[in-house]
């Protein structure tokens, strides 16, 4: 089993939406901003994949876009 390297301050962290797309819903802006703030407090840089904030309907209707986001995240070291 391969273990990933431990995260370091300044590392970028990809944000993908693989299941519900709820992060893109306007009523969750408070939680989204809190999550961004917490990642930054840990010294990490959140990077949102192109479709991660598009909302529930878009993510549900576009599984290929979800897969493309995940692939993009894994391809970027």
* pLDDT mean values, one per 10 residues, the chain (77 residues): 90 92 90 96 97 93 94 91
Give counts: helices (H), strands (E), the chain: 3, 2
Domains and CATH numbers, the chain: 12-75 (3.40.50.10740)
**Cα–Cα–Cα angle for 49, 72, 3, nearest 5°?**
105
Identify the pLDDT of residue 21. 86
Identify the pLDDT of residue 19. 85
Taking Cα atoms as reference points, which of 11, 12, 23 lies closest to residue 51? Answer: 23
Query: Global pTM?
Result: 0.83
| Residue 10: partners with Cβ closer than 8 Å, 6 or more residues away | 43, 44, 45
Identify the pLDDT of residue 37. 98
**Cα–Cα distance measured from residue 69 to residue 24, given in angstroms and rounded to the nearest whole number:** 14
């Amino acid at each position: 089993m391969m273990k990933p390297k431990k995260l370091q301050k300044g590392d970028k962290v990809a944000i993908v939406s693989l299941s519900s797309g709820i992060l893109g819903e306007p009523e969750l802006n408070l939680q989204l901003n809190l999550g961004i703030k917490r990642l930054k407090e840990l010294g990490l840089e959140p990077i949102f994949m192109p479709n991660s904030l598009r909302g529930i309907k878009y993510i549900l209707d576009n599984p290929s876009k979800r897969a493309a986001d995940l692939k993009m995240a894994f391809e970027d070291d």
